[in-house]
Structure 1
Amino acid sequence: MHNVNWVALVVFVLLFALITWLGFAAANWRKGNLDQLHEWGLGGRRFGTLVTWFLIGGDLYTAYTFVAVPALAFGAGAVAFFAVPYTIFVYPILFLVFPRIWHVCHKHGYITAADFVRGRFGNRWLALAVAITGIVATMPYIALQLVGIQVVIGALGISGTGVTGDLPLIIAFIILAAFTYSSGLRAPASIAIVKDILIYVTAFTAIIVIPIQLGGFAKIFAAVPAAKQLLAVPGPHTTGSYGAYVTLALGSAFALMLYPHSMTGVLSASSGHAVRRNAAILPAYSFMLGLLALFGFFAIAAGVAKDPQFAEGFKEFGNNFAVPALFLNAFPSWFVGLAFAAIGIGALVPAAIMSIATANLYTRNIHREFINTNPTDLQEAQMAKWVSLIVKAGALFFILFVPTKFAIYLQLLGGIWIIQTLPAVMLGAYTRWFNDWALLIGWAVGIATGTAMAAAAHLTPTYPLAIGGFTFPGYTAFYTVILNLLIAIVLTPVFNAISTRRAPFDETKAADYFA
């Protein structure tokens, strides 16, 4: 691609060495018995407001976010800014729903969303559906974190074919696997603090320095094509890009907190109050995300796509190379190393949490439920540790041997799939009115319909829903979860009428949902 940037590489490696040490040292931070699953997989539920803020922020705002959102702005323009209202919509949901879930899970020792569904509805198959959905939806998400690392490694000038080209990624995987195995959730929690400081330093420096270099915001926006600065005005009989923008924001917001890694971050908090306080202060990340999205416009104004020295980078990584090219163009090598380390570490934190979360799901809701129904604490924790390694190895295999576009397609499908757990998890936090079998059928129809709609739309996130001569392009996940919910509402009284069960199963009580 180009010569190795040795100064940037040294800074990058030194910062990676720091977080590697932190990852292993975290085993002794707020020390607990890591042979118990709640200690290894939830940090003992002892993280206060500040640590939870870094952990959830590091969990939700991933390396792929930092690369992909500016890349979308660079390539497609204003539609990329849907990520800002999307993350704003998330926090009222977090404030209202998840303290209730935290309280009931703390009361009954639930570690996963599927644990809660099992206890609330008493249906092992509904809990299995929630667990499998979480695992399948998260796997490509982990792979995409490794894409973020791939991009910055390539931008540092390290390239090649075969084992030589893949070696840095393999080393990063080994580091991630080792400290996750030894320290559990404490590792990404401690590393998230360093990662977020680096990201904030990088973002605020860039938002000041680059516009000065480019002659100010007026010149930047003058250089951006007008078609990219605003959403296209809808034609007759369609909501056009407006409908897609709104449903992408709403659907993504409802889906985000249902991902296993989001739930793990919430359940690791020390109290429901810590969750509420985070809902109030996490919007700081939304502000930062808006700044990051502007980097796509900065890259257009800087003309990095036309610069011959970046031609190979764009050829290999597409628009995902826009941010690395922008930083290589604007900053000295030492700061490039810091910025790239922020992105690389920003991949390790969520990848670690995701692998822990999927391991928790498998261990609690598949292995314990269907294979070894009475494991010891040590057996349960050891199983989760091994599964976390297998999950990361699967993600690495995917990136090394499967074209990246398939990981992107699967991640888009993941959003469609995970939102189908909303009625059982989010609404289950408020009511036991729904029949468990009605919820399971609604889930199955939502999964099948969403997958079919995504395939019909050539694996793009939006589907042109046609009703009565009007077309409503919108996020497939948003449409299908409405269908899922309607089916559950219609079938609940039907199944309740024919059920021989005298009263709905529920091992929780109303008081369990409050402090």
Structure 2
Amino acid sequence: MVSTDTLIITGIPLIYLGFALWIGIRSRGEADQSTTEGFVAGDRRIGTIVLFFIMAAANNSAFAFLGGPGFAFDQGAIAYYIIPYSAFGLAMWYVLGPKVSRLGRKMGYVTQAEFVSDRFDSRWISVIMAIASVAAFIPYIVVQIKGVAFILNEASNGLIPFWLSGMLPFLIIGFYVITSGMMGVGWSNVLQGIMMLALAWFLGLYLPSELHGGIQPMFETIAATNPSHLVVGLPEMSIARYSSFIVVSALGSIMWPHLFMRAYTAEDESTIKKTAVLYPLFQFIIVPILLIGFAGVTVVEPGILDSPDRILPYLVTNLDINPVVIGLFFAGALAATMSTADAIVHASVSVSIRDFYKPLFNPEGEDLDETFWMKILVFPTLAVAYYFAIFSSINIVPLQAAAYGSIIQFLPLILGTLYWPRATKEGALAGIFSGTLVTAIFTFVVPTPLSIHAGLWGLLVTTVLFIVVSLVTDVEDPEFVREMIRTTRPDLSSSKGEQQPSGTVADGGKVTNENHE
């Protein structure tokens, strides 16, 4: 017979899922979900508060409630690398975001790859970036599905089977992404972000106090019994490797398409800047998350857990805590997972149609209802990720590590698009192809030199080849390039965007209403 406590602990996350579905469906607002601009960019009318939670919540996934505490519990002070890279993750967006927003309003861009490929007049750049993006997204979604499957299965004490625990939240995500597009993702992230912050701080303060009598006594106990746990630079992660992870993660954060594309959604440029300035505040969520992991270091016997990621559920369920609090913890963990998953699913289907299918098979955009096909792709995308999460034995962790390395290869091309009129198509293709290949080789084939993140070696190759090949080749349309760079300057458009109809370009641009909605 199922106990009352189990029903309470299971019921709270299920109630949260129902509320998340209601918020997601009800939040479509005035954005026209039948157009690409409405579905992908929320008709470019998202304000500061919603954009803040979109960027913050989408960047804190299952890792926030499971991986973060597990990392601190297992590896110790090494886990602190998360704080600097998270805090500085949007620093570049303060400068680049308004420029991208201006281009989006004038030329009708809604994805990351289309403004880069338009600048270099190459559909193959769009295709390569789309493949790299989706290849990076799938492992990310797989990790989220595994996370929610574990959360609901653990919360219900096995009452909800693992396969259904992974499916149920993603069915809900699929429904509100289809019905409400970017607006559904945005308002759901507000709900999820608030829950994550509240519960992280509650548990981060409560567990050290309950187990050790406070935060200071906790660290004093660790220092006395296991001092190496508080040191960075041990053989398992040298200072060079530790630093390279911070650099790659900080530079690569805004290169993720599901975050980068949000520059197109802001109602004005000041919204982007305010979001970038406020963003580090949300990263204070990392502090209590790491405290949770440290709380278990001296109280959990080695070998008890089959995975470090189980430390927080283990602590919560093995202490004499009110079942309502336990249920809220599991609901918060669901919020952390879903806030990333919905943004990635939404971006994945947008990129698949806009940046892969359209330039490769339908460059003129004839008789193509982009939004319809984006919506059609939502559940097939989820089905592929669900298969790898539940049924496949493939180790997804190396794939996710490679994903970060491949995404950062976009950085030189984006900087070249916005600042360097001498950059050429040949340089861009040579750079991104070679850099991605080097990253893959150092991730899967041979050990990375000096233990430095493989993505950093790839970035070096991408940058060098991009510059060198560009200098020995010619720009195909110098006037369009100069006009595109001029468009990014603030003196050409007000902070409100001075909107032209989406899909139009002044002074000889390449994008027309024939191929952009």
TM-score normalised by L of structure 1? 0.88
The reply on whether 1:174 has 2:174 as its aligned counterpart is no
CA deviation after TM superposition for structure 1 residue 502, in Å:
6.7
Provide the residue aligned with 2:80 in structure 1: 81
Distance 1:382 1:453, change over 3 A: same
CA deviation after TM superposition for structure 1 residue 170, in Å:
1.7
Provide the residue aligned with 1:439 in structure 2: 428
CA deviation after TM superposition for structure 1 residue 240, in Å:
6.3
The reply on whether 1:284 has 2:273 as its aligned counterpart is no
Structure 2 counterpart of 1:508, from 473, 484, 489 = 484
Partners of 2:23 and 2:40 in 1: how far apart?
Answer: 17
CA deviation after TM superposition for structure 1 residue 505, in Å:
5.1
Matches within 5 A, 1:82-481: 82-159=81-158, 164-213=161-210, 214-224=212-222, 225-232=226-233, 241-303=238-300, 311=304, 314-315=305-306, 318-330=307-319, 331-375=321-365, 379-403=369-393, 406-456=395-445, 463=448, 465=449, 472-481=450-459
Contact 1:446 1:481 in 2 (8 A): yes
CA deviation after TM superposition for structure 1 residue 57, in Å:
0.9
Distance 1:125 1:351, change over 3 A: same
- For residues 200-226 of structure 1, give each alpha carbon's deviation from its aligned partner in whole angstroms, at most 9, with x where no partner exists: 111221232222212122331244321
Distance 1:125 1:367, change over 3 A: same
Partners of 1:203 and 1:261 in 2: how far apart?
Answer: 24
Partners of 1:72 and 1:482 in 2: how far apart?
Answer: 29
Distance 1:486 1:374, change over 3 A: closer
Aligned residues: 483
Distance 1:262 1:477, change over 3 A: same
Partners of 1:480 and 1:371 in 2: how far apart?
Answer: 30
Partners of 1:110 and 1:39 in 2: how far apart?
Answer: 12
- For residues 472-497 of structure 1, give each alpha carbon's deviation from its aligned partner in whole angstroms, at most 9, with x where no partner exists: 3211111220121011112111223x
Partners of 2:390 and 2:455 in 1: how far apart?
Answer: 29
CA deviation after TM superposition for structure 1 residue 117, in Å:
0.6
Equivalent position SS for 1:185: helix
Partners of 1:167 and 1:438 in 2: how far apart?
Answer: 48
Partners of 2:195 and 2:54 in 1: how far apart?
Answer: 14
Partners of 1:362 and 1:513 in 2: how far apart?
Answer: 30
Partners of 1:350 and 1:512 in 2: how far apart?
Answer: 29
Partners of 1:277 and 1:356 in 2: how far apart?
Answer: 24
Structure 2 stretches of 5 or more lacking a match? Answer: 495-517
Distance 1:374 1:168, change over 3 A: same
Equivalent position SS for 1:14: helix
Contact 2:13 2:331 in 1 (8 A): yes
Provide the residue aligned with 1:468 in structure 2: none
CA deviation after TM superposition for structure 1 residue 457, in Å:
5.4
Contact 1:34 1:183 in 2 (8 A): yes
The one-letter code of the counterpart of 2:250 is A
Structure 1 stretches of 5 or more lacking a match? Answer: 466-471
Please tell me the root mean square deviation across aligned C-alpha atoms, in Å.
2.3
Contact 1:101 1:513 in 2 (8 A): no
- For residues 329-375 of structure 1, give each alpha carbon's deviation from its aligned partner in whole angstroms, at most 9, with x where no partner exists: 34321111112111112222221111111111121122221223344
Contact 2:53 2:190 in 1 (8 A): yes
Contact 1:450 1:480 in 2 (8 A): yes
The one-letter code of the counterpart of 2:126 is A
The one-letter code of the counterpart of 2:487 is A
Partners of 2:214 and 2:237 in 1: how far apart?
Answer: 32
Contact 2:58 2:340 in 1 (8 A): yes
CA deviation after TM superposition for structure 1 residue 103, in Å:
1.6
Partners of 2:33 and 2:367 in 1: how far apart?
Answer: 10
TM-score normalised by L of structure 2? 0.88
The one-letter code of the counterpart of 2:242 is Y
Q: Percent identity?
A: 21
The one-letter code of the counterpart of 1:5 is T
Partners of 1:397 and 1:420 in 2: how far apart?
Answer: 28
Partners of 2:352 and 2:465 in 1: how far apart?
Answer: 28
Deviates more, 1:211-220 or 1:121-130: 211-220
The one-letter code of the counterpart of 2:478 is A
Contact 1:155 1:325 in 2 (8 A): no
Contact 2:149 2:164 in 1 (8 A): no
Distance 1:65 1:205, change over 3 A: closer
Partners of 2:296 and 2:343 in 1: how far apart?
Answer: 31
Contact 2:148 2:165 in 1 (8 A): no
